[in-house]
Amino acid sequence: MVAKRFFAPDEFENKAEVDEFYKMVAEKDLQPLWTQKGLMLGEPPIRDIPFHWRWSDIKKLSERSGELIPIDRGGDRRVLSLTNPGLGGLPYASTTLWGAIQYLGPREVAPAHRHSAAALRFVVEGSGVWTLVNGDPVAMEPGDLVLTPNWTWHEHHNPGDTPMMWFDALDLPLIRSVDALFYEDGPDLMVNRLVDAVSSSELEFGGGAGLVPFDMEDEQPNHSPLLAFRWKDTDRTLESLLSRRQDGYAALRFSDPTNGKDVMPTMRCSMHRVAAGSEISPRQTTGSSIWLTFAGSARVSVGESEFQLEHGDLFVVPSWASMALSANEQTDLFCVSDAPVLEALGLMRQRKL
Ligand code: 1HN
């Protein structure tokens, strides 16, 4: 094959004419393709980098934010966002995903709003907070996954005496990149609700084991109508999956109980259990992901980086970066990725290394 060449302007014999032409092109806000060198590379040019945040740091700073910053000064949410150093200061964990830790103090309320970015919570520590999703009260306890899909009203209440911290993930960077971000402040607070109520989403769709209502007259939403996935179910499923595996690694995908699709159109959620001394073998995939160490301790390598993980630690795997993990003790990890978007666009590539 003949190597492709890029002509520098001074390689032309008629350099003056070519220079003049380039000037005229630029004046009309146009650019030649043939002068652009980095446009098509063999593999994706990745901007976000493999990175690791320690729970011990986040926890200390979140608690301090609880002392210093009233909830109404923090844009309604007291959130420290994972800031990937590769993204030029943007408050994004990866190219497509926002990741953060949210802190809600005793008797605090984070008021209602909605946005066209979808969000989810995975509870790390604490107890007693509940989130209203379109008015449906959803309790939040450690290990629970709670969804607030695109354009649903949501507000968080902590009626208890202890603070609570949880992981937030949003598809916000993706939604901003396609200029489709809308936002609206909420109606008056829906206080005085039953705190111990079971959400209607769970009453209708939480039967488990493939049991869904037969007569679904309402138009199907494009997200899971079940808004909470409880830790006791996740834990039990991981345990039985692991007992059937020879390699000490079990993983499950959270799905819409009515159709098996991902819980929301832009984000895939999964939970991983690695037995002591076992591994997630090296692999790579297009699309980025944020991982949260819910329990245990492990060593993970992402691209060229290696991180030691303890309870609550978070790390990011950029698109097409290799990832492998080895567990010191039994380790549980929550993972959120943009995989449904890549699949929908025909851009998913995966391989074991
Ligand atoms: C948001 O609405 C929440 O509702 C958390 O808890 C984090 C980050 C950016 C934009 C909106 C929440 C957020 C957010």
Residue 270 lies in a domain: yes
Determine the Cα–Cα distance for residues 337 and 97; give it in Å rounded to an integer. 8
User: Which residue, by CA, sits nearest to atom 12 of ligand 1?
Assistant: 77
Distance in Å from the first CA to the final CA of the chain: 29
Does 9 map to a domain? no
Q: Return the ligand 1 atom nearest residue 148 CA.
A: 4
Q: Residue 240 belongs to what domain range?
A: 51-212+223-352
pLDDT higher than threshold 90 for residue 6: no
d(CA 117, CA 184): 12
* Cβ atoms of residues 119 and 154 within 8 Å: yes
The answer to whether the Cα torsion of 162, 81, 272, 116 is positive or negative is positive
Centre of ligand 1 from the C-alpha of residue 48, in Å: 21
Residue 255 carries which DSSP code? B
**What gap in Å lies between CA 144 and CA 31, rounded to an integer?**
51
Q: Is residue 197 part of a domain?
A: yes
Are 61 and 69 within 8 A, CB to CB? Answer: no
Residue 47 Cβ contacting ligand 1 at under 6 Å: no
Tokens 């008629």 sit at which residue? 14
Bridge partner list, 165: 103, 125
Least confident of 15-19, 217-221, 250-254: 217-221
> What letter represents residue 166's amino acid?
W
User: pTM score, two decimals?
Assistant: 0.94
Q: Does 170 sit in the ligand 1 pocket, CB within 6 Å?
A: yes
Q: Which of 351, 294, 295, 293 is nearest to 323 (CA)?
A: 351
Give 54-97 pLDDT, tens digit per residue. 999 999 999 999 999 998 765 689 999 999 999 999 999 999 99
Instruction: Decide: helix, strand or coil at residue 152.
Output: coil
Q: Does residue 247 lie within any of the structural domains?
A: yes
Q: pLDDT band for position 249 (50/70/90)?
A: very high
What are the CA-CA distances from residue 41 to residues 38, 168, 228, 268, 341 (Å)? 6, 33, 42, 27, 22
User: How far is residue 291's CA from residue 272's CA, in Å, rounded to a whole number?
Assistant: 10
- Mean pLDDT score, 172-194: 83
**CB 168 near ligand 1, within 6 Å:** yes
Tokens of 257: 């109980």
Q: Is 284 in the pocket of ligand 1 (CB under 6 A)?
A: no
Residues 91-126 have pLDDT tens digits of 999 999 999 999 999 999 999 999 999 999 999 999
Tell whether 79 is covered by a domain. yes
Residue 20's Cβ-count burial label (10 Å; 0-12, 13-18, 19+) is exposed
Nearest Cα to Cα of residue 337 among 103, 174, 146: 174
- Beta-carbon neighbour count of residue 293 at 10 Å? 23
Q: Which atom of ligand 1 is nearest to the CA of 155?
A: 4
Average predicted confidence (pLDDT) for the chain: 93
CA distances from 14 to 18, 26, 167 (A): 6, 19, 61
What's the structural domain count of the chain? 1
Tell me phi and psi for residue 336, to 5 degrees: -125, 135
CATH code of the domain in which 340 resides: 2.60.120.10
**Neighbouring residues of 178: CB distance < 8 A, sequence distance ≥ 6:** none
Average pLDDT on 192-211 reads 81
Q: pLDDT (tens digit, 9 = 90+) per residue, 261-313?
A: 999 999 999 999 999 999 999 999 999 999 999 999 999 999 999 999 999 99
Q: With respect to residue 30, please indicate whether it lies within any of the assigned structural domains.
A: no
Q: How far away, in angstroms, is 185 Cα from ligand 1 center?
A: 12
In a domain, 26, yes or no: no
Q: Are 104 and 74 in contact (CB under 8 A)?
A: no
Q: Cα(182) to centroid of ligand 1, in Å?
A: 13
Residue 73 half-sphere exposure toward CB, CA atoms < 13 A: 6
140 within some domain: yes
Reduced to 3 states (helix: H, G, I; strand: E, B; else coil), residue 203 is helix
